[in-house]
Amino acid sequence: MPKMSKDNLVSAKASLDLLISAQNHHKEIMKPIDARCEEVILSICKIFNKRCWWYKYNNDDSIESSDDDANGFFDPNWKHWVEVEINPIQGKSDMICDVKEGCQSDLSIGFPIRFLFEDFEQEVIDGKKSARAELEKERIEKKEKALAAKSRKAELAASAREKLKSVLTPEEMKALKGL
């Protein structure tokens, strides 16, 4: 086994000490960011009349994740969107909001990173109203289309009956009614 040089031993010890110091410093830097993320999440839940019983950063399955990161971790590589899961539910979320970025967003799976350093509550309140109005409009349009299709189907069926009446004898019509 090769003998380690004294310089390498000293360098390795210094590097390890620096790494431990950096990790501790990182944890201290992350505390206010994590606290603000929690404030944002709780505020979003309050606006949507939801009780926040659980949330996590949506990267806990990352290769970098450790036991300390069981609920994920704030990723400094997120440039525009903080990825979270709030009260994971099956099916469609009702925490939909129009945001300044010009899109309709499901805030149960994330929020714009700017929410960490801006007042966003009124935007979410207004965005919730506009998103719900848009979703209601879409629901009504879908219902109207279904009614129109049903009406069209009934018209076609009536037309087909009239055509049959014109070509069938009364006995053939009675036989069809019996089916």
126-135 contacts at long range (C-beta below 8 A, 24 or more positions apart): 126/98, 127/97, 127/98, 127/99, 128/47, 128/48, 128/96, 128/97, 130/98, 131/96, 131/97, 131/98, 131/104, 132/96, 134/98, 134/104, 135/96
Residue-level pLDDT at 108 = 87
β partners of residue 111: 82
Q: Give percent above pLDDT 90 in the chain.
A: 25
Query: Element (H or E) spanning 110, and its range?
Result: strand 110-112
Measured CA angle at 101 (ends 98, 105), to 5 deg: 40
Higher pLDDT, 50 or 89: 50
Q: Are 48 and 6 in contact (CB under 8 A)?
A: no
pLDDT in tens, 119-143: 999 999 999 998 888 888 888 999 9
pLDDT in tens, 65-95: 445 556 778 888 888 889 888 876 555 678 8
